[in-house]
Amino acid sequence: MQIATWNVNSLNVRLDHVLAWLEKNPVDALALQETKLTDDKFPVAAIREAGYECVFTGQKTYNGVALITKSAAEDVVTALPDFEDDHKRVIGGTIDGVRVIGVYCPNGQDLDSPKFQYKLAWFDALQAWIEKELQTHDKLVLTGDFNIAPRGEDTYDPDKWEGRILCSPPERAAFTKLLDAGLADCWRLFDEREGRHRFTWWDYRNGGWARNAGLRIDHVLATPSLVDVCSDLKAFVGERGRKRPSDHVPVVGTFNIG
DNA sequence: ATGGCTTAGGTGCTAAGA
């Protein structure tokens, strides 16, 4: 079973990229972030034509998440429970017995911004919900754009990024707390990577891609029973070099079940 | 190299991203 995540930065702009990528890489589940589409505009027909089911929750201009799956998702959730939020950032469903939760975590903007406080509160609510989900789901994958680079080596310049947004101690603590709850960062099972393959995002500005100024902020976290059968975890960095790319690339985990 | 892109909304610019 393959489970993927991709922040597409507008599904309207990136639909052709997504369909072409799925044709080459027919994963069982693909979590999308930043679809930036209201639900009435979601391209259900095109996705069904490609042979996939989908569930989604979106809004105008910002945020928006979806799950594109080979078999239909069950027990679908479209928000964090017990957390008031206008932002559409969460979509979860059970696919062939695996609980798959796709998230678009807040960016935070700056450490002194109200958005940073929102980010930390949002992660608290995510933590509480995941802990609850783990009580009833032995096979669970939490994947998406976390907007956190967990370690210095997950940035192109650890000294420069140390303490900054995406790398600050409270953000990294929030990430570690998810791991402590019983999830593994599957990337680290195959941690010997170099160059572009260390990252999942490159800034559009300042020649980010050209000078490989990237970050690893898109993650696949999984419970131990899935970690045991995880045979690969990789970023499809070639997508960043395409014409009109998203600034994030797809990240795919392979789990040898069923 | 704290933004020199890219997106949406709307039609000239602002907001947001990470």
CA A160 to CA A70: how far, in whole Å? Answer: 42
What per-residue confidence (pLDDT) applies to A162? Answer: 96
Confidence of residue A211 (pLDDT cuts 50, 70, 90): very high
Q: How far is the CA of A240 from the C1' of B5 (A)?
A: 14
Closest nt by CA–C1' to A38: B8
User: Measured between alpha carbons, how far is A242 from A141 in angstroms, rounded to an integer?
Assistant: 28
A202 strand-pairing partners: A214
Q: What is the mean pLDDT of residues A213-237?
A: 98
Report, in ranges, which bases of strand B sit under 7 Å from a protein C-beta.
1-9, 16-18
Residues of A with catalytic annotation?
104, 145
Would you state the pLDDT for residue A247?
98
Q: Across residues A178-200, what is the average pLDDT?
A: 96
Return the DSSP state at A248.
B
Chain-centre distance for alpha carbon A159: 25
Q: What is chain A's mean pLDDT, rounded? A: 97
Cβ neighbourhood burial of A51 (10 Å; 0-12, 13-18, 19+): exposed
- Residue A110: per-residue pLDDT: 95
State residue A16 phi and psi, 5-degree precision: -65, -40
Tokens representing A157 are 């310049």
The predicted pLDDT at position A80 comes to: 97
pTM comes to 0.98
Per-residue model confidence (pLDDT) at position A94: 98
> What confidence category does residue A174 fall into, taking pLDDT thresholds of 50, 70 and 90?
very high
CA-to-C1' span, A214 to B7 (A): 20
pLDDT at A258 over 80: no
User: CA-to-C1' distance for A7 and B12, Å?
Assistant: 29
Name the band, by pLDDT with cuts 50, 70 and 90, for residue A178: very high
Q: Of all nucleotides in the shown strands, which has a C1' nearest the CA of A211?
A: B1
pLDDT category of residue A169 using cuts at 50, 70 and 90: very high
Q: Which residue is nearest to nucleotide B6 (CA to C1')?
A: A204
Q: Which nucleotide is nearest to A164 (CA to C1')?
A: B18
Which residue has its C-alpha nearest to nucleotide B18's C1'? A107
Give the side-chain half-sphere CA count within 13 A for A146.
29
On the question of pLDDT at A86 being above 80, the answer is yes
Gap from A206 CA to B2 C1', Å: 11
Structure tokens at A22: 């799925």
